[in-house]
Structure 1
Amino acid sequence: MKNQFTLLFLILLSSLYAQATHIVGGQLFITENRNSMYNYRMGLTMYFDSRNGNPAAEDSVVVIYIFRKRDNVPVAYFQAPKIERKLVSYTNPSCVISDLQTYSITYALDAIVNTESFSDPQGYYMTWDRCCRNGTITNIKDPGDAGSLFYLEFPALSRNNVKFNNSSPVFPLIEGDYACINTPFNFNFGGTDADGDSLVYTLITPMQGFSTKEQPSAPGRGSSNFPRLTFVDGISISNVIPGPKPLTVNSRTGMLSVTPGATGLYVFAVQVDEYRNKVRIGSLTRDFQLKVVDCPKMEAPTVLYRPAGKNILYKENEIITLTKNDPNCFEVMVVDPSLNDKIRVYGSAVNNTRDYFSLLPAEFATTTSKDTMRFEVCLDDCFVTYGNRPIRLELVAEDASCPTPLTDTLTIYIRRENSNNNPPAITTSLPSDYVNVTAGEPVNFTVYGKDIDKDELELYARGAGFALTSQGMRFQKASGKETVQQNFSWTPPCHARKGDTLAVDFILEDMRCEGNPLPVSRPVYFIVQESPNTPPSISTDLSSQNISYHIGKSGTIQFNVTAMDVDTNAISLTATGRGFDLHDAGMAFDNISGTRSLTSPYSWSPECRVMQGENSRVFLIDFIAQDKNCASATDTTTVELTVITDDTFEMPEIPNVITPNNDGKNDCLVLRNLPVGNCDNQFKQIVVYNRWGKQVYFTDQPGQNWCPTDLNAGQYYYLIEYTAKTFKGGLTIIK
């Protein structure tokens, strides 16, 4: 079901008041849907007792409340519909008991969440509060009157206006198994985290909440200290399920372990804390109930093996060596003290990806007490070993004990000779397996693989103590039938030191036996010689690397940059600004490549826009010459450009009378001394009008005098405009 849900408004929802004497356990969740319009899924997974509970209390929807953690202020609540209901299975289905049947029910809402509305640094929490628990619970007082409160903390979904990605942990479906008195019992209560966060597990006293029989589905209430269940006398969190080994949880894995000492129905809770970069960012509680019954006494089977030709049983860690002439099958025994017990055997080759063996028969039943049963382990042709590495074979016998099977495992180490598969051959195009290399000079050769049995082959390489890519070596894995080849290429880096030796193993695998290939290898040793490479040099034709430029007063900045390399290696000439982009600043410079000698011109006419409101700015430009064959061989020269715009502005005195009669005295209106302006007040234009307002002169170029020889004597007016100021005055022309 999809709903648009901004979590900015509270939605009025109806409450369901059926008494919920059915709750076995569960937990809340919030999951980010990163590729969906509905960016979050929120809800509840609940375990429901269908035998002892009230069937009418199985809600069609649940109401989940959200609070701000800092002050417990309610933020919102929402209605999550039931989307899934399924029966919880047993590890051994034949062990089902009549009064224990549990359903897993999931309620969820897909919502559009405005993450900016959840930005409080201390985060938020969700609750679901419901009454009541099963009245048959053994370890708490008044169980039929005790409520259940599920709790989940989550971090701010937006931090400093940046979305914070996070989902609560995910847990596998809990199996509906029960425990037996005085018998060790383990079950997995751990989960996984989609964000890679660390999870820490702790046993806690389950939360009770504020719901009661009279108000079984009370409106949510925020709290920093929710009520907890009250244990019966003699029970605490240290022995919530009492016995020879009380209930414990592995803090890293969430594995629960207990050897109970009395029958009953026991409730417990585990707090799961979520850490990212060693900082706790979230937490949730998982509630559950475990039933302890008095089971029939069962004993585990025992797996035994007596190697051929020996009178004593096999001892673990002993290596059995089989030649190609030995039989393919050997016999293994299983002893089980229980009468009429069913035994199943299975196994695996732990250090092979395929087993390449079979067990016959795989199942049988005991007919007498301490019956000895026999089965054969038959090895395929591909069950072979290469070198000194034995195959670790684990054989498991499993009986039909309840609630979970009892097992015994026998580990046998087997070294078996190859019978009919010829090893492939690997060669190279090199004259020797020892190659002298020089920094900056490429090395290329071909590696070949061949198999006389015409099997499938795989060819690859690995460095001795290093990754090929870390040294810039190129060799892609290749495959083929009967033959295969691949090229190796490498240009030793400039930092390679004389005398260094790097070994590369080229490995060819015969793939007739998938998961257990027959490998051969050939090492090649690269010996570094002294590099003849000379680093490049770079220079400019400037007399000084420090240039001062006044906007409006200086011309274009121009100079040439030259890179040289005495070797014949390819070089590049580039420029980069420290903290700025040359092109964006209006600078002109072309990055170029070539050999021996390169020259590229630089030019720039700074404009006011680059000043960013300042009167002075310094621009540092690094010009770099780089040997393209040896990336670490470089030379750099830096030019410092200081750009200045004057903050003073003084208008000179302008005469109000001129006599343009060509006598060389007071013939022109002197304008060449006008200020050029600065970045705050730039020159625009000069306009002269006659007494009737007609324009008789115009210029947008500063520094030009006006000599009006063709105008009549009389009264005129001038207007000198800058971007921030305007100057006006009268002018009399006398002839």
Structure 2
Amino acid sequence: MRKILLVSILILICKVSSFASHIVGGEFELVYLSGNNYRLNLIIYFDEINGAPGAKYSPLPLAWIYRKSDNAVMMQDIQLSLFSEEPVAYTVPSCANDAIVKTTKLVFSKVITLTPESYNHPDGYYIVWQRCCRNYNIVNVVSENPDAGGVGSGLTFYLEIPPLVKDGKRFINNTPQLFPPLSDYACVNRGYYADFKGVDADGDSLVYSLVTPLNTPSAVPHPQPPSTAPYPQVIWEATYSLNNIVHGNPNLTITDDGLLRVTPTEEGIFVFAVKCEEYRDGEKIGEVRRDFQMVVVDCPPGGSEPDVNIELEDGSTYNEGDVLHFLADDDKCVKFTVEDEKGGRVNLKLDPIGYDEENFEIQILSTSPSGDRLTAQVCFTDCPPDKDLPFEVSFIGLDDTCPQPLQDTVKLTVKITPPDNDLPVLKHKEDDGSYSVASQRLVTVNEKAGGVKIVQLLGQDANSDLMDFMLEPVGFELADYGMSVIDKANSAGVREVWLQWNYDCQQVSFDGKTSFEIKVYLEDEDDCQYEEPVLVTLFLNVNLPDNSLPNVYSEKLGSSNQYVKVTAQLDETVTFDVRGTDEDGDLAFIEAVPANFSFSDYNITYNRVQGQGKPSATQLNSTFSWTLACKKFKLVEQDSFRVYFMMEDFDKCEITNRDTLTVDFLLSPPPNSDPLLTVQSANKFPIVNDTIHIIIDENISLRLTGRDFEGDSITLYLVDDQPERLGYDFESKTGMGTVAADFVWSPECHVLEGQPEVFVPLTFAVQDNHCTQPRSKQYSLVVHIEDIDDKSEQFIPPNIFTPNGDDLNTYFGMYRVNNQTGVEENILPIDNCAGQFEKVVVYNRWGREVYSSTDRYFKWYGDDVSSGVYFYYIEYTNRGYRGSFTVRF
């Protein structure tokens, strides 16, 4: 019966998995290497049962990095290559069933460069890779995505990373990694567990939670580039949800530290996702999502859970919650029996909660022939993990049920009294030669040449343990201030060290610090190596020689020697004296330091002066001069400049002893008025009311003149300059104070754009190049352009001609004799932009063409035709004229 049931299960699994996706889960990792180099890993778990072999490596994944703040800026794309490939082992290798679950771990990887200059946005970044589609046999989510045309919903692999700069400093981070896979299948109505915990190389806190898996917005198999966040979620099937992922009893859960648990109640393939959030100093810095699917089958009946029993040496019964107390001289051993009443092979393992197994020793004493019963002894060391505190150990009995052993757990609470140990004594030698055990010691010295102070520290231990000293300077380094530690004695029960302090300020700089705190710890090496240091705090002070503060000031700027405000206009020169005295007559110097700008950017040269600062006629004196060249400044960006004039003396200890005169320069721009622009006609067409009237093909000629009353450089130009379209001739001109330019234009027909007239606006402008407040002036001119009048209303064609040899009306043409001049004139409508003469055609009464010409000055003499009525058609580009005339011989 057992064999038949197993075959039925395998048939069901093959049916369930026949359309399974070849990707069953995975996640990203970003590992810091060195400098700006990182390794990006994409871990994919591949279904060897249902996945097509060619889908393993083709196409190779292409990951993308986006900026998180706006989901718009793509930072870079990363082509990954196959790095490693290995099979995923079952929890119990003997339970392996490749017909149910057979998974390969694929790692795709590449070393990439991420620079702090590029990756510094405080909201961070995310890495994404997408793949469509999930299989159709998933039970708990909708496998057909209506928005994607009815195909399987997709997978989005997602990793958030922090910026590489935080609080102005380089921020190094490794994302969580080394996550275990989901290696086993689960059984209906049987408890299932899996360790999903990852490892963080930086020691960051990791918090786990179940989340809805991410989908893809389209059915593209390999989206390139992948879409940006926010990402759609998969759609849960009816009765399933994030709180009811597999219809479990209890349902699927994960602890904060990554332990998955579930007792599924039905078969199928179930998709779930785990979010692992990364915290440092209480602040979330990133997250990674793991997408996985769980296979649940109806397994053969399993055995019963094994029983774990504790046997105490005195024969009493141990109840969970009791504290088992061992004294220092006790044998610290406990016996266990593990038994499976249904005959399954059993084993015993221990789980020290929060401690290493090195504190315990487990020994199997006996095992039954069938392996269903064993006896074991666990002995504890003399030293508990924490002195005087109880600790817990879980003893877990396991059988050989597949795919995961059934378990029984007994939690034992133990308290061990460690061996006695006397704390060492830390003594320090007083100035009178006696030794003190006070917790604090104050040492004060007066600076002198060759000065050395020895602080003697003595450690004694009643148990004759070896001891270690540790000196912890608070906020400084010993060597920086002439301090060093000398070992004098180191033997069982005795340890002596000297703190040697060189306080000669000619050899050691005490600039900015004359008081020091040092914590001295003494620790004995007792049997259990507990950290119980004895502490003495040393306070060291050095008194430096007196030194008066120098005095820096300016007589021209007023009596204040602390702060002065100077107001000035650009293009001026600011000059004042800077003086300094020192009551001690020390050698001193005066220098100028710009606070918010650079002297070199503004052509400022100030030479540091040095000499004796004693008040006298030879006191330090210098001159500061600044020519405020207007072109050097952008007052819109900065109109206030600060300079510190500092005087420092050279005292014996070279301690910073500085006096500072702060000068703020508040700058304003020089005055500026509007430039002047005049426009005049240079030919016969006058400007009337800012308008010029011309006929097409006539010329416009203008003379433009710009003037600036401050003599600044000025530029004369045409606003919305478009010479290629309109065809005018004009070039911008630049000059100092005054500039002139000519505008010449002969408009052509395309300017009219098919209209009989147009009004073309032209805007001329003059702009001064004032350094801070440029001004401009504009002049708008309208050019009224009309087409040529074709005089078509005066066109009356002739209606007869007589080529009979009398020299009167001898041809057909469009002419009239001017009565005043007697000159023959063409009467055809005049060519203009709207229409031009193209041809004339003459037809007889049967419609046969007898004459044609493209010459507007045509003359037809009626050759080879007879008398009668003829018809003509005169064609222009925009219209035609029809009529008839009579030929009479």
Matches within 5 A, 1:78-89: 79-89=79-89
1:234 correspondence with 2:232: no
1:187 correspondence with 2:194: yes
1:448 correspondence with 2:458: yes
- Deviation, 1:58, is 2.4
| Partner of residue 128 from structure 1, selected from 127, 130, 134 | 130
Q: 1:667 is matched with which residue?
A: none
> Which amino acid in 2 is paired with 1:130?
C
1:35/1:350 CA distance change after superposition, 3 Å: closer
| Partner of residue 606 from structure 1, selected from 621, 624, 632 | 624
* 1:94 match: secondary structure: helix
* 1:373 match: secondary structure: strand
1:507 correspondence with 2:522: yes
> Which amino acid in 2 is paired with 1:579?
A
- Deviation, 1:49, is 1.4
Q: 1:559 is matched with which residue?
A: 580
Q: 1:411 is matched with which residue?
A: 413
1:282/1:537 CA distance change after superposition, 3 Å: same
1:518/1:205 CA distance change after superposition, 3 Å: closer
> Which amino acid in 2 is paired with 1:517?
Q
Matches within 5 A, 1:398-477: 398-401=397-400, 402-405=402-405, 406=407, 407-418=409-420, 427-430=427-430, 431=434, 432-434=436-438, 437=442, 444-449=454-459, 456-460=466-470, 468-469=474-475
Q: 1:658 is matched with which residue?
A: none
Q: 1:639 is matched with which residue?
A: 661
Rounded Cα–Cα distance in structure 2 between residues aligned with 1:630 and 1:439:
20
Rounded Cα–Cα distance in structure 1 between residues aligned with 2:334 and 2:126:
62
- Deviation, 1:457, is 3.5
**Are the counterparts in 1 of residues 590 and 608 from structure 2 also a CA contact under 8 Å?**
no
Q: 1:55 is matched with which residue?
A: 53
* 2:80 match: secondary structure: strand
Aligned identity (percent) is: 18
- Deviation, 1:355, is 3.7
**Are the counterparts in 2 of residues 301 and 399 from structure 1 also a CA contact under 8 Å?**
no
Deviation per residue, 1:24-67 (Å, 9 max, x gap): 1223566676546xx56556321111124333432344243649
- Deviation, 1:506, is 3.9
Rounded Cα–Cα distance in structure 2 between residues aligned with 1:58 and 1:169:
25
Deviation per residue, 1:202-246 (Å, 9 max, x gap): 5114526644xxx85576663767665554432223212111222
**Are the counterparts in 1 of residues 597 and 641 from structure 2 also a CA contact under 8 Å?**
no
- Deviation, 1:174, is 1.3
- Deviation, 1:375, is 1.5
Q: Normalised by the size of structure 1, how large is the TM-score?
A: 0.60
**Are the counterparts in 1 of residues 387 and 418 from structure 2 also a CA contact under 8 Å?**
no
1:329/1:408 CA distance change after superposition, 3 Å: closer
**Are the counterparts in 1 of residues 116 and 165 from structure 2 also a CA contact under 8 Å?**
no
**Are the counterparts in 1 of residues 588 and 647 from structure 2 also a CA contact under 8 Å?**
no
- Deviation, 1:104, is 0.8
Q: 1:6 is matched with which residue?
A: none
- Deviation, 1:485, is 2.5
- Deviation, 1:415, is 0.6
1:188/1:355 CA distance change after superposition, 3 Å: closer
> Which amino acid in 2 is paired with 1:586?
Y
- Deviation, 1:345, is 3.9
- Deviation, 1:449, is 3.9
1:169/1:52 CA distance change after superposition, 3 Å: same
- Deviation, 1:413, is 0.9
**Are the counterparts in 2 of residues 620 and 638 from structure 1 also a CA contact under 8 Å?**
yes
Higher CA-based Rg: 2
Q: 2:44 is matched with which residue?
A: 46
Rounded Cα–Cα distance in structure 1 between residues aligned with 2:523 and 2:543:
36
Rounded Cα–Cα distance in structure 2 between residues aligned with 1:387 and 1:21:
50
Structure 1 stretches of 5 or more lacking a match?
A: 1-18, 566-570, 649-735
- Deviation, 1:201, is 4.3
Matches within 5 A, 1:441-590: 444-449=454-459, 456-460=466-470, 468-469=474-475, 480=490, 482=492, 483-488=494-499, 506-510=521-525, 513=527, 516-517=528-529, 524=536, 537-540=548-551, 544-546=559-561, 557-562=578-583, 577=593, 579=595, 586-588=606-608
- Deviation, 1:267, is 1.4
**Are the counterparts in 1 of residues 326 and 332 from structure 2 also a CA contact under 8 Å?**
no
**Are the counterparts in 2 of residues 343 and 363 from structure 1 also a CA contact under 8 Å?**
no
- Deviation, 1:101, is 1.5
**Are the counterparts in 2 of residues 20 and 54 from structure 1 also a CA contact under 8 Å?**
no
Rounded Cα–Cα distance in structure 2 between residues aligned with 1:417 and 1:118:
55
1:619 correspondence with 2:643: yes
Q: 1:361 is matched with which residue?
A: 364
1:411/1:168 CA distance change after superposition, 3 Å: closer
Rounded Cα–Cα distance in structure 2 between residues aligned with 1:130 and 1:299:
42
> Which amino acid in 2 is paired with 1:320?
H
> Which amino acid in 1 is paired with 2:624?
P
* 2:624 match: secondary structure: coil
**Are the counterparts in 1 of residues 337 and 374 from structure 2 also a CA contact under 8 Å?**
yes
Rounded Cα–Cα distance in structure 2 between residues aligned with 1:587 and 1:227:
67
**Are the counterparts in 2 of residues 300 and 399 from structure 1 also a CA contact under 8 Å?**
yes
**Greater mean alpha carbon deviation, residues 64-73 or residues 409-418:** 64-73
Rounded Cα–Cα distance in structure 2 between residues aligned with 1:505 and 1:354:
34
Structure 2 stretches of 5 or more lacking a match?
A: 1-18, 145-149, 448-452, 504-509, 634-638, 671-889
Q: 2:673 is matched with which residue?
A: none
> Which amino acid in 2 is paired with 1:152?
Y
Q: 1:104 is matched with which residue?
A: 105
Rounded Cα–Cα distance in structure 1 between residues aligned with 2:175 and 2:443:
55
Rounded Cα–Cα distance in structure 2 between residues aligned with 1:360 and 1:73:
61
Deviation per residue, 1:158-211 (Å, 9 max, x gap): 999999988765452414033344444443445567786987745114526644
Q: Normalised by the size of structure 2, how large is the TM-score?
A: 0.51
**Are the counterparts in 1 of residues 595 and 641 from structure 2 also a CA contact under 8 Å?**
no
* 2:305 match: secondary structure: coil
> Which amino acid in 1 is paired with 2:155?
L
> Which amino acid in 2 is paired with 1:561?
D
**Are the counterparts in 1 of residues 594 and 643 from structure 2 also a CA contact under 8 Å?**
yes
Q: 2:268 is matched with which residue?
A: 264
Deviation per residue, 1:419-466 (Å, 9 max, x gap): xx998665443422236636666974222346798865423367xxxx
- Deviation, 1:103, is 0.6
Please, what is the CA RMSD of the aligned residues? 6.1
1:398/1:312 CA distance change after superposition, 3 Å: closer
Matches within 5 A, 1:83-232: 83-98=83-98, 99-110=100-111, 126-133=128-135, 136-140=137-141, 146-152=152-158, 170-189=177-196, 191=198, 201-207=209-215, 210-211=218-219, 222=227, 229-232=234-237
Rounded Cα–Cα distance in structure 1 between residues aligned with 2:133 and 2:234:
12
Deviation per residue, 1:265-291 (Å, 9 max, x gap): 211223556789999887664321112
